[in-house]
Structure 1
Amino acid sequence: MSAVVGLDPSLVSAGIAILGADGSARTWSVGHTGTDGASWADRSDRIVAQTRLVLRQIPVDAALVVIEDMPSHMRPQPGLGDRWALWWGLYSAIRARQTPIAVVNPKTRAKWATGNGNSDKRAVLAAVRADWSQVRIPNDDCADALTMAAMGALHLGRELPFEVRRRHHAGIENITWPEEATPR
């Protein structure tokens, strides 16, 4: 059985979590800061560089990648188009590898981690650190990624190092899982 990967896409700090087949767990974040007034070419280069950097972190034989969806309710703001470009670049490249992908709504991720879909990033970080006390979780992006990897691992029938509660099962039932990553 291969690794399950959780991704919280971001240009500045993309959270990545890998749950190994051996039960290991690791988190880290990667990113590229931007500048106000960057040219179209610079913005494009940043998106491509971040996409490549994140993809290099994902094992090519991953059993499943669980990626956080872009919130659909976001008001237009600077960089939103760039964030969407990164998201689609990652999704498309992972799909081209023929790696199964599940997309998780941010509220579903928050509810799975804390029991409340409206929890902010600090609450999610605290809950994830409590459940995963043996894993280094440097920031909220990594906590989000680890939550999504755990959702995928639970879906695949893997054991988690904490008590699985009713909300965890209810949370994964709301996700459209790829057929290739459905336990038989």
Structure 2
Amino acid sequence: MPDVLGLDLGLANAGAASLTDRGSVDTWVLHTDAPDTPSLDATLGRIDRVTRWALGFVTTGTALAVVEAPSFGSDHGQQHERAAIHWLVVRGLRRREIPVATSPPTTLKKWATGSGRADKAAMKRAVAALWPGNGLHRVTEHEIDALALAGAGAQCWCEWPGPWLGPSPSALASITWPENP
């Protein structure tokens, strides 16, 4: 059974979601604590941990991975560290011959809610409505974003029939898609 993997990557928190062509949903979250004494080695260790964790979800059935692109316009967080994680994960996926799509952060919000400025609560409501009965009201914002990424990939690139209850297909145009399968 093929699956689409969605990855919302960050240094402190990361989310992953897998969506199968039969509508099965799984989500995971990783929290990495900042060290008491910041150092280059500690930062590299956290980057490596997130990278290994994300690549650990790849299976022989992974048809596509949709990764949230870094938000370089963001005023907070560690932009360089998040970009490092992004590129290491993308490289790892490509080395495993997994097609990779990258999505700007506002795109998944627009796809799920119709607004690229949707807040976390609106995202959670919209994604939970797409996959009711999966306990998504209990998952983190990182898992919600990862599932939205997987859903966008399943709808557009894989062309799976799905529970698409009104997401904005026009938002999908700004995702960088791999060449057709």
Scaled by the length of structure 1, the TM-score of the pair is 0.88
Which blocks of at least 5 consecutive residues in structure 2 are unaligned? none
CA distance in 2, matches of 1:154, 1:162: 8
* 2:91 alignment counterpart: 92
Q: CA deviation at 1:130?
A: 2.3
Deviations along 1:46-100, one digit per CA (max 9) or x if unpaired, are 111221112112224410000111112123x553222221111111111111110
The one-letter amino acid paired with 2:6 is G
Q: How many residues align?
A: 178
Change (3 A) 1:25 1:78: closer
Q: For residues 63-82 of structure 1, what are the structure 2 equivalents within 5 Å?
A: 63-75=63-75, 77=76, 79-82=78-81
Q: CA deviation at 1:36?
A: 5.2
The one-letter amino acid paired with 1:169 is P
CA distance in 1, matches of 2:51, 2:123: 25
Q: CA deviation at 1:133?
A: 1.8
**1:83 and 2:82 are equivalent in the alignment:** yes
SS state of the match for residue 59, structure 1? coil
Deviations along 1:89-129, one digit per CA (max 9) or x if unpaired, are 11111111111001011111111111111112222112212
CA distance in 1, matches of 2:174, 2:94: 21
Task: Please say if residues 5 and 65 of structure 1, whose CA atoms lie closer than 8 Å, have aligned partners that are also in contact.
Answer: yes
CA distance in 1, matches of 2:22, 2:89: 26
The one-letter amino acid paired with 2:105 is P
CA distance in 1, matches of 2:106, 2:155: 18
Task: Please say if residues 10 and 31 of structure 1, whose CA atoms lie closer than 8 Å, have aligned partners that are also in contact.
Answer: no
Q: CA deviation at 1:8?
A: 0.5
Q: For residues 45-124 of structure 1, what are the structure 2 equivalents within 5 Å?
A: 45-75=45-75, 77=76, 79-124=78-123
Which blocks of at least 5 consecutive residues in structure 1 are unaligned? none
* 1:125 alignment counterpart: 124
CA distance in 2, matches of 1:98, 1:56: 14
Task: Please say if residues 7 and 17 of structure 2, whose CA atoms lie closer than 8 Å, have aligned partners that are also in contact.
Answer: yes
SS state of the match for residue 168, structure 2? helix
* 1:151 alignment counterpart: 152
RMSD over aligned CA atoms reads: 1.8
Q: Percent identity?
A: 33
**1:30 and 2:30 are equivalent in the alignment:** yes
Task: Please say if residues 100 and 180 of structure 1, whose CA atoms lie closer than 8 Å, have aligned partners that are also in contact.
Answer: no
CA distance in 1, matches of 2:140, 2:77: 23
Scaled by the length of structure 2, the TM-score of the pair is 0.89
